[in-house]
Amino acid sequence: MTSYQSELGGGGNVAEELAKGQRAISIAEFFEKNKHMLGFDSGARGLVTAVKEAVDNALDATEEAGILPDIYVEIAEAGDYYRLVIEDNGPGITKEQIPKVFGKLLYGSRFHAREQSRGQQGIGISAAVLYSQLTSGKPAKITSKTQGSSQAEYFELIIDTDSNEPEISVEDTTTWERTHGTRIELEMEANMRARQQLHDYIKHTAVVNPHARIEFREPSEHLKYERATDQLPAETTEIRPHPHGVELGTLIKMLGATDSYSVSGFLQTEFTRVGQKTADSVVEHFRDRHYGREMAWSPPASQDEADVAAAITDAVNGKGAEATEAFTDAVMKVLDARERISHHELVTVVGNAADATEDEQGVTFGETVRENAVEAAWGAIVTSRAADCYRLVDDATTSKKDDAAVEALARRIETAFANSEDPRDRVTYDTLSQFVDRAAERTKERDEVSFGETARENVVDAFWSVCRTVPDDAPSVSETEGDRDTASELLEAMRETDILSPPTDCLAPITDDLVRAGLEKEYDADFFAAATRDAEVHGGDPFIVEAGIAYGGDLPAEGQVDVLRFANRVPLVYQRGACASTDVVKRINWRNYGLDQPGGSGMPNGPAVFMIHVASTNVPFTSESKDAIANVPGIEDEIELALREAARELKRYLNKRRSMEKRQRKQDVIADILPRMADKLSEVTERDQLQVGDSLARIMNNVLVERSVEDGTVRLVVRNFSDTNASLDVTDIVTADPGEPNDGQVVEMDGEWFVKWSPTVSAGDTAVLEYRVGDDATFDVSVEGVEDAKLTVNA
Ligand SMILES: Nc1ncnc2c1ncn2[C@@H]1O[C@H](COP(=O)(O)OP(=O)(O)OP(=O)(O)O)[C@@H](O)[C@H]1O
């Protein structure tokens, strides 16, 4: 760094020297230097990020247009570089927009939309273009065809990093076999070291987008992921911001942009879930914060020292005895009936009494008389502060506090009111808290009695609850926008008002059925479970968490469970350790759900894949490169609940499987011993060998299927030795024509006859299935509807 130290004291102006080097930095220049922020930290990672940005856009665009996505991704070596091609069958991009979409950072359609989408910031694809031009020096080649066009638009362009504007080198039309869509070709310095992440990204994209067809070709592999459903994700609706989710800067911007004059109108037109009632409630809190409330004191009783009536009478000059008395009586009549009165309420009471006296007595009560009367009456009323403060403190604290302590605290609060700058006893909640805190501190110092946190809060709330909201109009929109403190008061009022959660039609969860279908499509497992939670809200943005589990089958039994993380249907393949979803998986006790977890915490082991999906209008990521979900407690709780929901199903499955395995082992032992016993028995008794299948089925409480063939009659006897009903599908495959059996159905296929029955056999009952066939036929029976371990087939 240039040092100006030698110039210090030498008469030179360092600030002016520095000023020569100070200039604005373009966004493109900034990202050129900070590529890692956008996920382009290395050649390996750059390739994954570029694929991800283009595929995410393709999925967003096709979904928005209601088109089932057909996406082609190709990575090929091109000399010293890699060439990346991504094609989609989306709606295409208009000629005017192409240069901006690809040649300008921070240009997009989703930044301002409160709707679930993969893209959010308008940086993704242009950052890929920037990375490609920086590393290979080659322009991006874009082909795009909109629906109904016969020709496609073709551009070659780069981003001018000084101006953050597109620099077009070729602009042409071309023919393209796709009826509509977009094709992007980028060359970049890259390598395939992140091959695994690339494959994970594509495969996991296929899992959570079962409606998409994706073809992926890279130098050593060519893969096709077919769609599992023709059902597009549910259409989403854009929502207005929720009052609980905006920041101060955004609020001020919104106040500047609105057409509304009043804050109430502004709230109702610019935010979701705000009707008249909610707006009224926010405005009331806003006024409380902006103006404070007025303390209401109990008017002293007439026999008390402070004589309000006398004070009023004294204050009224030259109105004649009769009118003065009538006026004083009218005020006192109202005051006597009131338990408490605040300053503005007194102004109204005096005003009404003056109007009535004017009418009845024909004497004018002008502004000054009214003001004098209010001042005099208020002066007399506030003499009761001490007694009032005592009562409020006494009621708000426990009986354990002795009287002198209560008295001391109340006296100090009273003094705070008496010394306050506002003669109307207006206080904000914060000021009131300060009054009470200071009074409590002094009482501790002087009287050695302490009032703890809770006691203080109770006292503040007791005073606040008898304070009156002031009648002043809430500041207008322009007044609020023009003053940062006022805007901040409005924001706090919005946050403290209970407001219905935002609607969730802006979200499109995958849904549990499709989570399961997606997993079934890509993983050869024995068991699948899925759960979709109800929507919750974080910082004003709705979110939905989904979880899925695949278990067993071909999944690797060794090592840790594989965790697939997704945000708005986008697989997150980096920063696993920094992600809230990983943290949640680790903190669950998986032993409770039948999985192996060394030490009882951390990643569980076993042949399982966990899938976690967070869908939101604003997913809180840990960084701009959108690699990991931040540790937001509300979101973590939902992730945990979704996982536990799916895990409960897994537990049931594993328990059942274990008991079946146990049963099978027992059965294997018996099946081994029984024939040997039968052998021995027939040897000893010299009788024919016994049929052991029947006995085995009886011992194991199984369903037994036994065949006998006699004079061309094939008989399958089904005996249910279990204690529940059995609904079976029994199919006998015969090599000769079985004619027309009584209850079974026959289908012939390639010289084999399939005879099928679907009997329900009650516990302890028997069903007989029969047909006739020629002598030399052979048979092969299959039975479904009963677990293998509970079935004995002797046929
Ligand atoms: N394949 C495509 N088909 C149609 N429109 C597209 C396509 N790719 C990009 N767009 C349009 O270009 C805009 C900019 O895309 P870009 O990837 O830069 O940002 P984004 O997807 O909005 O947000 P993010 O930076 O979070 O990815 C998108 O918002 C979309 O309107």
Domain 248-291+473-496 has CATH 2.60.40: no
C-alpha 120 – ligand 1 centre gap (Å): 8
202 has a pLDDT exceeding 60: yes
Contact 46, 137 (CB under 8 A): no
Q: Is 126 in the pocket of ligand 1 (CB under 6 A)?
A: yes
693 pLDDT tier (thresholds 50, 70, 90): confident
Q: Which fold is adopted by the domain 512-656?
A: Ribosomal Protein S5; domain 2 (3.30.230)
Cα separation, 134 vs 728, in Å, equals: 67
Q: Which residues pair with 86 in a beta bridge?
A: 73, 184
Report helix, strand or coil for 588: coil
Q: What is the CA radius of gyration of the chain?
A: 41
| Region 405-416 average pLDDT | 95
| Region 698-725 average pLDDT | 89
pLDDT digits (tens, 9 = 90+) for 62-71: 998 999 999 9
Could you tell me what percent of the chain has a pLDDT over 90? 66
Does ipTM top 0.90?
yes
Q: Is 497 in the pocket of ligand 1 (CB under 6 A)?
A: no
Q: Is 123 in the pocket of ligand 1 (CB under 6 A)?
A: yes
> Hey, do 27-225 and 693-794 end up sharing a CATH topology, with the first three levels equal?
no
Class of the 27-225 domain? alpha beta
pLDDT (0 to 100) of residue 349: 96
C-alpha 89 – ligand 1 centre gap (Å): 15
C-alpha 285 – ligand 1 centre gap (Å): 41
C-alpha 280 – ligand 1 centre gap (Å): 40
pLDDT digits (tens, 9 = 90+) for 343-402: 999 999 999 999 999 999 999 999 999 999 999 999 999 988 999 999 999 999 887 788
Count Cβ atoms within 10 A of the Cβ of residue 581 and give its class: 0-12 exposed, 13-18 middle, 19 or more buried. Answer: buried
Q: Is 420 in the pocket of ligand 1 (CB under 6 A)?
A: no
Residues placed in the known binding site for ATP? 57, 88, 109-110, 119-126, 626
Cα separation, 585 vs 494, in Å, equals: 35
pLDDT digits (tens, 9 = 90+) for 248-294: 988 999 999 999 999 999 999 999 999 999 999 999 999 999 999 99
SS3 sequence of 542-562: EEEEEEEEEECCCCCCCCECE
C-alpha 234 – ligand 1 centre gap (Å): 20
Q: Is 99 in the pocket of ligand 1 (CB under 6 A)?
A: no
Which residue in the block uniquely carries the two structure tokens 């071909």? 554
pLDDT (0 to 100) of residue 7: 55
Which residue in the block uniquely carries the two structure tokens 């010289």? 751
Query: What is the DSSP code (8-state) at residue 534?
Result: P
Q: Which fold is adopted by the domain 693-794?
A: Immunoglobulin-like (2.60.40)
Indicate the domain borders of the chain.
Answer: 27-225, 248-291+473-496, 308-380, 385-469, 512-656, 693-794
203 has a pLDDT exceeding 60: yes
Which residue in the block uniquely carries the two structure tokens 């007439």? 302
Q: Is 285 in the pocket of ligand 1 (CB under 6 A)?
A: no
Helix (H) or strand (E) holding 486: helix 484-496
